[in-house]
């Protein structure tokens, strides 16, 4: 079966299986050996793509940040600042609800600040800052307040501490509370580049 994986297919399989194991069984269950078993390849095969377990977890975290950054890009197409925030807030809380353990990994797998997870986190935070109409070079407390609010709602939703039928209500209330603090005409977030924050 190992020969069927080529041109990056094994890497994608390992990332997908790693995410599945993480969400279902927790981070301790994510090992290269277990993922090799699930993929039907030799124990050594994953090392062609990931030097060790840490590298795999970093790549998984980076993929999660890239997904949230894409949600920010989509939200940037909404008409007014409140609509943009509402669009992203719903996406972020849905992501947390479906991928709670991955979200935890994303914020803890940043290593020395130069790896793929840290770089992806920097792109995500820059995109979020821009969505809110802030200059990424001089950030006010607003992006941190928004992030903390949505992460908190997401964590409660992922833990089942907000009833499913009230999640949208809570998100909408948070958006209504935060919207008056938004600039009147924030620019839509575009591609973000640059070095990760240290």
H, E, C per residue of 133-154 = CCCCCCCCCHHHHHHHHHHHHH
Give the pLDDT confidence score for residue 7 in this predicted structure. 45
Please report which confidence band the pLDDT of residue 112 belongs to, taking 50, 70 and 90 as the band edges.
low
Mind listing the pLDDT tens digit for each residue in 134-183? 887 887 899 889 989 999 999 999 999 999 999 999 999 999 999 999 88
List the domains of the chain with CATH numbers: 1-50 (1.10.10), 61-181 (1.10.357.10)
For residue 128, the surrounding DSSP H or E stretch is: helix 116-131
In sequence order, the 6+-apart residues with CB closer than 8 A to the CB of 70 are none
* Spatial contact of 196 and 114, defined as CB atoms under 8 Å apart: yes
What is the pLDDT averaged over residues 89-116?
Answer: 87
pTM of the model: 0.81
Alpha-carbon dihedral angle through residues 180, 143, 86, 63, given to the nearest 10 degrees? 180
The mean predicted confidence, pLDDT, of the chain is 86
Mind listing the pLDDT tens digit for each residue in 33-70? 999 999 999 999 999 999 999 999 999 999 999 999 99
Give the pLDDT confidence score for residue 15 in this predicted structure. 96
What SS3 class is residue 189? coil
Res 193 pLDDT > 50: no
């Amino acid at each position: 079966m190992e020969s069927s994986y080529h041109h990056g297919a094994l890497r994608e399989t390992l990332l997908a299986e790693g995410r599945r194991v993480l969400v279902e069984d927790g981070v301790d269950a994510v090992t290269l050996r277990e993922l090799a078993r699930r993929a039907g390849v030799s124990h050594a095969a994953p090392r062609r793509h990931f030097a060790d377990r840490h590298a795999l977890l970093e790549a998984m975290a980076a993929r999660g940040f890239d997904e949230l950054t894409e949600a920010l890009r989509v939200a940037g197409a909404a008409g007014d600042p409140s609509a943009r925030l509402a669009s992203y807030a719903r996406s972020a809380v849905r992501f947390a609800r479906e991928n709670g353990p991955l979200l935890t990994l994303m914020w803890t797998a940043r290593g020395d600040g130069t790896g793929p997870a840290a770089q992806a986190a920097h792109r995500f935070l820059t995109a979020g800052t821009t969505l809110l109409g802030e200059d990424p070079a001089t950030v006010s407390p607003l992006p941190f307040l928004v992030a903390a609010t949505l992460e908190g709602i997401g964590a409660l939703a992922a833990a089942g501490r907000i009833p499913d039928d009230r999640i949208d209500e809570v998100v909408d209330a948070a958006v209504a509370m935060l919207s008056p603090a938004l600039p009147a005409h924030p620019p839509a977030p575009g591609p973000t580049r640059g070095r990760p924050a240290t």
